[in-house]
Structure 1
Protein backbone atom coordinates (compact mmCIF):
# COMPACT_ATOMS: atom_id res chain seq x y z
CA UNK A 1 0.00 0.00 0.00
CA UNK A 2 2.70 2.40 0.95
CA UNK A 3 4.47 1.65 -2.26
CA UNK A 4 1.37 2.45 -4.30
CA UNK A 5 0.86 5.74 -2.50
CA UNK A 6 4.51 6.73 -3.12
CA UNK A 7 4.17 6.13 -6.83
CA UNK A 8 1.00 8.15 -7.06
CA UNK A 9 2.59 11.10 -5.22
CA UNK A 10 5.46 11.16 -7.61
CA UNK A 11 3.17 11.30 -10.64
CA UNK A 12 1.14 14.13 -9.09
CA UNK A 13 4.27 16.13 -8.33
CA UNK A 14 5.54 15.71 -11.83
CA UNK A 15 2.29 16.89 -13.35
CA UNK A 16 2.14 19.92 -11.05
CA UNK A 17 5.66 20.94 -11.86
CA UNK A 18 4.65 21.31 -15.60
CA UNK A 19 7.30 18.90 -16.93
CA UNK A 20 6.96 18.48 -20.71
CA UNK A 21 8.28 15.79 -22.89
CA UNK A 22 11.28 16.72 -24.96
CA UNK A 23 9.87 15.49 -28.31
CA UNK A 24 6.92 17.93 -28.05
CA UNK A 25 9.23 20.97 -28.07
CA UNK A 26 11.24 20.02 -31.20
CA UNK A 27 10.14 21.31 -34.60
CA UNK A 28 8.71 18.92 -37.12
CA UNK A 29 11.51 18.07 -39.57
CA UNK A 30 8.96 16.99 -42.16
CA UNK A 31 7.47 20.50 -42.41
CA UNK A 32 7.36 21.55 -46.15
CA UNK A 33 9.57 24.41 -47.46
CA UNK A 34 8.22 27.79 -48.55
CA UNK A 35 6.59 27.15 -51.93
CA UNK A 36 7.48 30.63 -53.23
CA UNK A 37 11.16 30.21 -52.41
CA UNK A 38 11.21 26.77 -53.96
CA UNK A 39 9.55 28.00 -57.15
CA UNK A 40 12.00 30.91 -57.50
CA UNK A 41 15.00 28.64 -57.18
CA UNK A 42 13.56 26.18 -59.67
CA UNK A 43 12.85 28.96 -62.16
CA UNK A 44 16.46 30.26 -61.91
CA UNK A 45 17.86 26.85 -62.65
CA UNK A 46 15.59 26.11 -65.59
CA UNK A 47 15.75 29.61 -67.08
CA UNK A 48 19.58 29.44 -67.52
CA UNK A 49 19.64 26.07 -69.27
CA UNK A 50 17.94 27.13 -72.58
CA UNK A 51 20.37 30.06 -73.00
CA UNK A 52 23.38 27.77 -72.69
CA UNK A 53 22.00 25.24 -75.12
CA UNK A 54 21.10 27.96 -77.60
CA UNK A 55 24.63 29.36 -77.47
CA UNK A 56 26.09 25.91 -77.90
CA UNK A 57 23.86 25.33 -80.92
CA UNK A 58 24.95 28.62 -82.48
CA UNK A 59 28.63 27.78 -81.87
CA UNK A 60 28.15 24.35 -83.36
CA UNK A 61 26.54 25.83 -86.49
CA UNK A 62 29.40 28.33 -86.81
CA UNK A 63 31.96 25.54 -86.55
CA UNK A 64 30.14 23.56 -89.23
CA UNK A 65 30.01 26.57 -91.57
CA UNK A 66 33.70 27.27 -91.06
CA UNK A 67 34.50 23.63 -91.66
CA UNK A 68 32.59 23.68 -94.95
CA UNK A 69 34.34 26.90 -96.00
CA UNK A 70 37.69 25.32 -95.17
CA UNK A 71 36.85 22.27 -97.27
CA UNK A 72 35.82 24.52 -100.18
CA UNK A 73 39.06 26.48 -99.88
CA UNK A 74 41.08 23.28 -99.86
CA UNK A 75 39.21 22.09 -102.96
CA UNK A 76 39.85 25.38 -104.79
CA UNK A 77 43.49 25.25 -103.72
CA UNK A 78 43.86 21.76 -105.16
CA UNK A 79 42.31 22.92 -108.45
CA UNK A 80 44.67 25.92 -108.52
CA UNK A 81 47.66 23.67 -107.84
CA UNK A 82 46.61 21.34 -110.66
CA UNK A 83 46.23 24.28 -113.04
CA UNK A 84 49.63 25.62 -111.97
CA UNK A 85 51.21 22.23 -112.61
CA UNK A 86 49.59 22.09 -116.04
CA UNK A 87 50.88 25.57 -116.87
CA UNK A 88 54.37 24.58 -115.70
CA UNK A 89 54.19 21.53 -117.94
CA UNK A 90 53.03 23.63 -120.91
CA UNK A 91 55.85 26.12 -120.32
CA UNK A 92 58.34 23.32 -120.00
CA UNK A 93 57.14 21.72 -123.22
CA UNK A 94 57.19 25.08 -124.99
CA UNK A 95 60.70 25.79 -123.73
CA UNK A 96 61.85 22.34 -124.79
CA UNK A 97 60.21 22.84 -128.17
CA UNK A 98 61.94 26.18 -128.61
CA UNK A 99 65.29 24.80 -127.53
CA UNK A 100 64.95 21.80 -129.84
CA UNK A 101 63.53 23.73 -132.80
CA UNK A 102 65.16 22.72 -136.04
CA UNK A 103 64.35 24.68 -139.21
CA UNK A 104 65.99 24.25 -142.59
CA UNK A 105 64.79 24.08 -146.18
CA UNK A 106 66.18 23.88 -149.69
CA UNK A 107 64.13 23.99 -152.89
CA UNK A 108 64.62 24.49 -156.62
CA UNK A 109 62.26 26.42 -158.87
CA UNK A 110 60.94 24.18 -161.67
CA UNK A 111 61.69 21.73 -164.47
CA UNK A 112 59.81 23.75 -167.07
CA UNK A 113 62.77 25.85 -168.31
CA UNK A 114 61.86 29.52 -168.76
CA UNK A 115 59.71 31.45 -166.27
CA UNK A 116 58.48 34.88 -167.39
CA UNK A 117 58.43 37.56 -168.43
CA UNK A 118 55.07 38.64 -166.97
CA UNK A 119 53.22 41.94 -167.00
CA UNK A 120 53.00 41.98 -163.20
CA UNK A 121 55.25 40.94 -160.35
CA UNK A 122 54.80 37.23 -159.63
CA UNK A 123 55.54 35.19 -156.51
CA UNK A 124 58.11 32.50 -157.25
CA UNK A 125 57.01 29.06 -156.06
CA UNK A 126 60.03 26.83 -155.66
CA UNK A 127 58.18 23.57 -156.20
CA UNK A 128 61.05 21.05 -156.05
CA UNK A 129 61.60 20.67 -152.31
CA UNK A 130 64.66 18.65 -151.26
CA UNK A 131 64.81 19.60 -147.59
CA UNK A 132 62.08 21.02 -145.39
CA UNK A 133 62.92 20.34 -141.74
CA UNK A 134 60.15 21.84 -139.62
CA UNK A 135 57.84 22.19 -142.66
CA UNK A 136 58.20 25.96 -142.56
CA UNK A 137 58.45 26.41 -146.31
CA UNK A 138 55.35 25.93 -148.49
CA UNK A 139 55.97 24.97 -152.15
CA UNK A 140 52.27 25.60 -152.81
CA UNK A 141 52.49 29.30 -151.90
CA UNK A 142 56.23 29.97 -152.12
CA UNK A 143 56.20 31.43 -148.58
CA UNK A 144 58.48 30.63 -145.67
CA UNK A 145 56.84 31.14 -142.23
CA UNK A 146 58.99 31.39 -139.11
CA UNK A 147 57.90 28.77 -136.52
CA UNK A 148 59.96 30.27 -133.67
CA UNK A 149 61.50 33.60 -132.81
CA UNK A 150 65.15 33.68 -133.80
CA UNK A 151 67.83 34.68 -136.25
CA UNK A 152 67.61 33.06 -139.71
CA UNK A 153 69.87 32.79 -142.72
CA UNK A 154 68.42 32.83 -146.25
CA UNK A 155 70.06 32.47 -149.66
CA UNK A 156 68.82 32.50 -153.23
CA UNK A 157 70.37 31.91 -156.65
CA UNK A 158 68.65 32.88 -159.91
CA UNK A 159 69.63 31.74 -163.37
CA UNK A 160 68.96 33.50 -166.66
CA UNK A 161 69.12 31.57 -169.96
CA UNK A 162 67.00 33.55 -172.41
CA UNK A 163 67.43 36.69 -174.43
CA UNK A 164 64.08 38.05 -173.26
CA UNK A 165 65.24 41.18 -171.45
CA UNK A 166 66.54 41.33 -167.88
CA UNK A 167 66.52 38.76 -165.12
CA UNK A 168 65.86 39.73 -161.53
CA UNK A 169 64.42 38.77 -158.14
CA UNK A 170 63.03 40.57 -155.10
CA UNK A 171 62.94 39.30 -151.48
CA UNK A 172 60.03 40.39 -149.24
CA UNK A 173 59.75 40.16 -145.45
CA UNK A 174 56.17 40.59 -144.21
CA UNK A 175 55.33 42.45 -147.42
CA UNK A 176 58.35 44.75 -147.19
CA UNK A 177 61.11 44.58 -149.82
CA UNK A 178 64.46 43.54 -148.32
CA UNK A 179 66.52 42.79 -151.44
CA UNK A 180 65.97 43.77 -155.10
CA UNK A 181 68.53 42.36 -157.57
CA UNK A 182 68.46 42.96 -161.34
CA UNK A 183 70.79 41.96 -164.13
CA UNK A 184 70.60 42.70 -167.84
CA UNK A 185 70.40 39.66 -170.11
CA UNK A 186 70.75 39.90 -173.89
CA UNK A 187 72.16 36.50 -174.89
CA UNK A 188 71.11 32.89 -174.36
CA UNK A 189 74.19 32.07 -172.29
CA UNK A 190 73.74 31.02 -168.64
CA UNK A 191 74.03 33.89 -166.20
CA UNK A 192 73.46 33.92 -162.45
CA UNK A 193 72.80 36.31 -159.66
CA UNK A 194 72.92 35.31 -156.00
CA UNK A 195 72.50 36.94 -152.61
CA UNK A 196 71.99 36.13 -148.92
CA UNK A 197 70.47 37.78 -145.86
CA UNK A 198 70.42 37.25 -142.10
CA UNK A 199 67.16 38.33 -140.49
CA UNK A 200 65.70 38.38 -137.00
CA UNK A 201 62.19 36.97 -137.26
CA UNK A 202 59.27 36.66 -134.88
CA UNK A 203 56.88 33.73 -134.84
CA UNK A 204 54.66 33.93 -137.92
CA UNK A 205 56.90 36.26 -139.93
CA UNK A 206 56.88 35.48 -143.67
CA UNK A 207 59.44 35.61 -146.49
CA UNK A 208 59.02 35.02 -150.19
CA UNK A 209 60.73 35.76 -153.52
CA UNK A 210 59.10 37.69 -156.36
CA UNK A 211 59.92 37.81 -160.05
CA UNK A 212 59.65 41.48 -161.06
CA UNK A 213 57.50 42.37 -164.08
CA UNK A 214 59.12 42.07 -167.51
CA UNK A 215 61.87 39.86 -166.07
CA UNK A 216 62.60 36.23 -166.96
CA UNK A 217 64.50 33.44 -165.22
CA UNK A 218 65.32 29.82 -165.95
CA UNK A 219 65.44 26.41 -164.31
CA UNK A 220 65.39 22.74 -165.31
CA UNK A 221 66.24 19.35 -163.88
CA UNK A 222 69.70 20.66 -163.02
CA UNK A 223 68.28 23.10 -160.44
CA UNK A 224 69.80 26.38 -161.62
CA UNK A 225 67.45 28.58 -159.56
CA UNK A 226 67.20 27.76 -155.84
CA UNK A 227 65.95 29.16 -152.53
CA UNK A 228 67.16 27.98 -149.10
CA UNK A 229 67.27 29.00 -145.46
CA UNK A 230 67.73 27.78 -141.90
CA UNK A 231 67.50 28.86 -138.27
CA UNK A 232 70.80 30.05 -136.81
CA UNK A 233 69.62 30.28 -133.19
CA UNK A 234 66.53 30.91 -131.06
CA UNK A 235 65.80 34.12 -129.19
Structure 2
Protein backbone atom coordinates (compact mmCIF):
# COMPACT_ATOMS: atom_id res chain seq x y z
CA UNK A 1 0.00 0.00 0.00
CA UNK A 2 2.84 2.36 0.81
CA UNK A 3 4.41 1.91 -2.57
CA UNK A 4 1.07 2.73 -4.22
CA UNK A 5 0.85 6.00 -2.34
CA UNK A 6 4.42 6.83 -3.30
CA UNK A 7 3.71 6.19 -6.99
CA UNK A 8 0.52 8.30 -6.81
CA UNK A 9 2.40 11.18 -5.23
CA UNK A 10 5.09 11.04 -7.88
CA UNK A 11 2.43 11.02 -10.60
CA UNK A 12 0.63 14.03 -9.14
CA UNK A 13 3.90 15.94 -8.77
CA UNK A 14 4.63 15.28 -12.43
CA UNK A 15 1.25 16.65 -13.47
CA UNK A 16 1.70 19.75 -11.32
CA UNK A 17 5.20 20.31 -12.68
CA UNK A 18 3.94 19.93 -16.24
CA UNK A 19 1.16 22.44 -15.61
CA UNK A 20 3.61 24.83 -14.03
CA UNK A 21 5.87 24.54 -17.06
CA UNK A 22 2.94 25.21 -19.38
CA UNK A 23 1.81 28.23 -17.34
CA UNK A 24 5.35 29.58 -17.24
CA UNK A 25 5.70 29.21 -21.00
CA UNK A 26 2.40 31.04 -21.55
CA UNK A 27 3.48 33.81 -19.24
CA UNK A 28 6.76 34.19 -21.10
CA UNK A 29 4.94 34.42 -24.43
CA UNK A 30 2.53 37.00 -23.06
CA UNK A 31 5.44 39.01 -21.67
CA UNK A 32 7.15 38.94 -25.06
CA UNK A 33 3.95 40.19 -26.73
CA UNK A 34 3.62 42.98 -24.17
CA UNK A 35 7.23 43.97 -24.70
CA UNK A 36 6.66 44.19 -28.46
CA UNK A 37 3.56 46.33 -27.90
CA UNK A 38 5.48 48.59 -25.52
CA UNK A 39 8.24 49.05 -28.11
CA UNK A 40 5.64 49.98 -30.76
CA UNK A 41 3.98 52.44 -28.39
CA UNK A 42 7.32 54.05 -27.59
CA UNK A 43 7.99 54.46 -31.32
CA UNK A 44 4.56 56.04 -31.82
CA UNK A 45 5.18 58.41 -28.92
CA UNK A 46 8.48 59.46 -30.48
CA UNK A 47 6.75 60.10 -33.81
CA UNK A 48 4.06 62.17 -32.12
CA UNK A 49 6.72 64.19 -30.33
CA UNK A 50 8.44 64.96 -33.64
CA UNK A 51 5.11 65.93 -35.25
CA UNK A 52 4.25 68.22 -32.32
CA UNK A 53 7.62 69.97 -32.62
CA UNK A 54 7.16 70.47 -36.37
CA UNK A 55 3.63 71.79 -35.83
CA UNK A 56 4.90 74.25 -33.21
CA UNK A 57 7.59 75.50 -35.60
CA UNK A 58 5.02 75.94 -38.39
CA UNK A 59 2.75 77.90 -36.05
CA UNK A 60 5.62 80.23 -35.21
CA UNK A 61 6.38 80.75 -38.91
CA UNK A 62 2.73 81.43 -39.78
CA UNK A 63 2.26 83.78 -36.84
CA UNK A 64 5.46 85.60 -37.71
CA UNK A 65 4.63 86.04 -41.40
CA UNK A 66 0.91 86.70 -41.20
CA UNK A 67 -0.11 90.29 -40.72
CA UNK A 68 -3.78 91.24 -40.72
CA UNK A 69 -4.57 93.52 -43.63
CA UNK A 70 -7.08 96.17 -42.71
CA UNK A 71 -9.23 98.19 -45.05
CA UNK A 72 -9.07 101.12 -42.65
CA UNK A 73 -5.41 102.13 -42.42
CA UNK A 74 -4.08 102.91 -38.97
CA UNK A 75 -0.47 103.44 -39.97
CA UNK A 76 1.45 105.05 -42.80
CA UNK A 77 0.31 107.85 -45.09
CA UNK A 78 -3.24 107.83 -46.41
CA UNK A 79 -3.78 108.19 -50.16
CA UNK A 80 -7.07 109.12 -51.85
CA UNK A 81 -8.28 111.36 -54.65
CA UNK A 82 -11.48 112.24 -56.45
CA UNK A 83 -11.91 114.61 -59.40
CA UNK A 84 -14.40 115.37 -62.16
CA UNK A 85 -14.63 117.30 -65.40
CA UNK A 86 -15.92 120.82 -65.02
CA UNK A 87 -17.79 120.85 -68.36
CA UNK A 88 -19.20 118.63 -71.07
CA UNK A 89 -17.22 118.09 -74.28
CA UNK A 90 -17.65 116.81 -77.82
CA UNK A 91 -16.73 113.15 -78.09
CA UNK A 92 -15.33 113.29 -81.68
CA UNK A 93 -12.83 115.97 -80.67
CA UNK A 94 -11.57 113.73 -77.91
CA UNK A 95 -9.40 111.67 -80.27
CA UNK A 96 -7.91 108.20 -79.89
CA UNK A 97 -5.94 107.11 -76.81
CA UNK A 98 -6.33 110.57 -75.37
CA UNK A 99 -6.05 111.08 -71.60
CA UNK A 100 -9.14 112.44 -69.85
CA UNK A 101 -8.33 115.43 -67.67
CA UNK A 102 -10.57 115.79 -64.64
CA UNK A 103 -9.81 119.39 -63.78
CA UNK A 104 -11.91 119.92 -60.64
CA UNK A 105 -10.52 118.15 -57.58
CA UNK A 106 -12.70 117.31 -54.59
CA UNK A 107 -10.14 115.28 -52.65
CA UNK A 108 -6.41 114.76 -53.07
CA UNK A 109 -4.93 113.18 -49.93
CA UNK A 110 -1.24 112.61 -50.56
CA UNK A 111 -1.25 114.99 -53.57
CA UNK A 112 -0.92 112.12 -56.01
CA UNK A 113 -3.47 113.36 -58.56
CA UNK A 114 -2.52 116.05 -61.11
CA UNK A 115 -5.58 117.98 -62.30
CA UNK A 116 -3.67 119.51 -65.23
CA UNK A 117 -2.66 116.12 -66.71
CA UNK A 118 -5.38 113.77 -65.42
CA UNK A 119 -2.69 111.42 -64.06
CA UNK A 120 -2.43 109.89 -60.60
CA UNK A 121 1.09 109.06 -59.36
CA UNK A 122 1.30 106.63 -56.45
CA UNK A 123 3.14 108.14 -53.50
CA UNK A 124 3.04 104.84 -51.59
CA UNK A 125 3.02 101.19 -52.65
CA UNK A 126 0.01 99.03 -51.90
CA UNK A 127 -3.33 97.76 -53.14
CA UNK A 128 -5.57 100.49 -54.52
CA UNK A 129 -9.15 100.80 -55.70
CA UNK A 130 -9.95 102.91 -58.78
CA UNK A 131 -13.30 103.89 -60.22
CA UNK A 132 -14.29 106.09 -63.15
CA UNK A 133 -17.66 107.13 -64.54
CA UNK A 134 -18.46 108.52 -67.99
CA UNK A 135 -21.86 109.93 -68.97
CA UNK A 136 -23.24 110.37 -72.49
CA UNK A 137 -25.68 113.15 -73.34
CA UNK A 138 -29.14 112.27 -74.59
CA UNK A 139 -29.50 115.35 -76.79
CA UNK A 140 -27.91 113.39 -79.64
CA UNK A 141 -26.70 109.84 -80.12
CA UNK A 142 -23.54 109.93 -77.98
CA UNK A 143 -21.04 107.14 -77.39
CA UNK A 144 -17.48 106.72 -76.17
CA UNK A 145 -15.24 104.05 -74.68
CA UNK A 146 -12.86 104.86 -71.83
CA UNK A 147 -10.18 102.57 -70.39
CA UNK A 148 -8.12 102.60 -67.20
CA UNK A 149 -4.35 102.46 -67.68
CA UNK A 150 -1.98 101.41 -64.87
CA UNK A 151 1.75 101.49 -65.52
CA UNK A 152 1.21 101.60 -69.32
CA UNK A 153 -1.17 98.59 -69.30
CA UNK A 154 -4.95 98.59 -69.69
CA UNK A 155 -6.64 97.11 -66.62
CA UNK A 156 -10.26 98.11 -67.16
CA UNK A 157 -12.61 99.39 -69.84
CA UNK A 158 -16.14 100.81 -70.07
CA UNK A 159 -18.40 101.87 -72.93
CA UNK A 160 -21.31 104.29 -72.77
CA UNK A 161 -23.92 104.85 -75.49
CA UNK A 162 -27.10 106.95 -75.42
CA UNK A 163 -28.95 105.21 -78.23
CA UNK A 164 -32.03 107.40 -78.45
CA UNK A 165 -32.84 111.08 -78.03
CA UNK A 166 -33.61 112.09 -74.46
CA UNK A 167 -31.77 109.21 -72.79
CA UNK A 168 -28.89 109.99 -70.44
CA UNK A 169 -26.56 107.01 -70.09
CA UNK A 170 -23.64 106.57 -67.68
CA UNK A 171 -21.16 103.74 -67.28
CA UNK A 172 -18.85 103.04 -64.32
CA UNK A 173 -15.70 100.94 -64.08
CA UNK A 174 -14.07 99.60 -60.93
CA UNK A 175 -10.62 98.04 -60.56
CA UNK A 176 -8.54 96.85 -57.59
CA UNK A 177 -4.84 96.56 -58.30
CA UNK A 178 -1.50 96.45 -56.45
CA UNK A 179 0.94 99.13 -57.59
CA UNK A 180 4.39 100.42 -56.72
CA UNK A 181 5.54 103.86 -55.67
CA UNK A 182 5.74 106.09 -58.73
CA UNK A 183 3.36 104.05 -60.91
CA UNK A 184 1.00 106.24 -62.95
CA UNK A 185 -2.73 105.65 -63.35
CA UNK A 186 -5.07 107.48 -65.72
CA UNK A 187 -8.08 107.03 -68.01
CA UNK A 188 -8.04 107.49 -71.77
CA UNK A 189 -10.30 107.12 -74.79
CA UNK A 190 -10.37 103.87 -76.70
CA UNK A 191 -10.37 103.60 -80.50
CA UNK A 192 -12.13 105.80 -83.03
CA UNK A 193 -15.89 106.12 -83.43
CA UNK A 194 -16.70 108.55 -80.60
CA UNK A 195 -19.92 110.47 -81.20
CA UNK A 196 -22.04 113.15 -79.60
CA UNK A 197 -21.38 114.80 -76.25
CA UNK A 198 -19.82 113.48 -73.08
CA UNK A 199 -21.69 115.13 -70.26
CA UNK A 200 -20.40 116.60 -67.01
CA UNK A 201 -22.43 119.34 -65.34
CA UNK A 202 -24.51 120.08 -62.25
CA UNK A 203 -26.84 117.17 -63.01
CA UNK A 204 -24.40 114.40 -63.86
CA UNK A 205 -20.63 114.14 -63.71
CA UNK A 206 -17.81 112.35 -65.48
CA UNK A 207 -15.46 111.41 -62.63
CA UNK A 208 -12.24 109.63 -61.67
CA UNK A 209 -11.39 108.47 -58.13
CA UNK A 210 -8.95 106.21 -56.32
CA UNK A 211 -7.79 105.31 -52.83
CA UNK A 212 -5.29 103.13 -51.01
CA UNK A 213 -6.87 100.05 -49.41
CA UNK A 214 -3.84 98.56 -47.63
CA UNK A 215 -0.08 98.26 -47.90
Shorter-chain-normalised TM-score: which range? 0.5 to 0.7
Unaligned runs of 5+ in 1: 1-97
| Residue 164 of structure 1, CA deviation | 4.3
Cα pair 2:149 2:187 within 8 Å, conserved: yes
Aligned pairs for 1:91-130 within 5 A: 99-111=75-87, 113-118=88-93, 119-130=95-106
Aligned pairs for 1:51-90 within 5 A: none
Cα pair 1:170 1:209 within 8 Å, conserved: yes
Q: How much is the aligned-residue C-alpha RMSD, in angstroms?
A: 1.9
Which residue does 1:214 correspond to in 2? 193
Residues of 1 paired with 2:125 and 2:113: CA distance?
Answer: 16
Cα pair 1:124 1:211 within 8 Å, conserved: yes
Residues of 2 paired with 1:110 and 1:214: CA distance?
Answer: 24
Residues of 2 paired with 1:137 and 1:222: CA distance?
Answer: 24
Residues of 2 paired with 1:149 and 1:123: CA distance?
Answer: 23
Which residue does 2:170 correspond to in 1? 192
Which residue does 1:183 correspond to in 2? 160
Residues of 2 paired with 1:223 and 1:192: CA distance?
Answer: 9
| Residue 142 of structure 1, CA deviation | 0.5
Which residue does 1:132 correspond to in 2? 108
Q: 1:137 to 1:115 in 2, by over 3 A?
A: farther
How many residue pairs are counted as aligned between the two chains? 136
Which residue does 1:226 correspond to in 2? 207
Tell which structure's C-alpha radius of gyration is larger: 1
Cα pair 1:110 1:221 within 8 Å, conserved: no
| Structure with the higher fraction of residues in helix conformation | 1
| Residue 122 of structure 1, CA deviation | 1.4
| Residue 117 of structure 1, CA deviation | 1.6
CA offset digits 1:150-181 (Å, max 9, x no partner): 01011111110043442221111111111122
Cα pair 1:146 1:201 within 8 Å, conserved: yes
Residues of 2 paired with 1:180 and 1:232: CA distance?
Answer: 21
SS at match of 1:177: strand
| Structure with the higher fraction of residues in strand conformation | 2
Structure 1 length normalisation: TM-score? Answer: 0.53
Cα pair 1:165 1:214 within 8 Å, conserved: no
Q: 1:223 to 1:140 in 2, by over 3 A?
A: farther
Cα pair 1:173 1:205 within 8 Å, conserved: yes
Cα pair 1:102 1:133 within 8 Å, conserved: yes
| Residue 185 of structure 1, CA deviation | 2.8
Which residue does 2:26 correspond to in 1? none
Unaligned runs of 5+ in 2: 1-73
Dislocated runs of 4+, deviation >6 Å: none
Residues of 2 paired with 1:229 and 1:198: CA distance?
Answer: 9
Which residue does 1:83 correspond to in 2? none
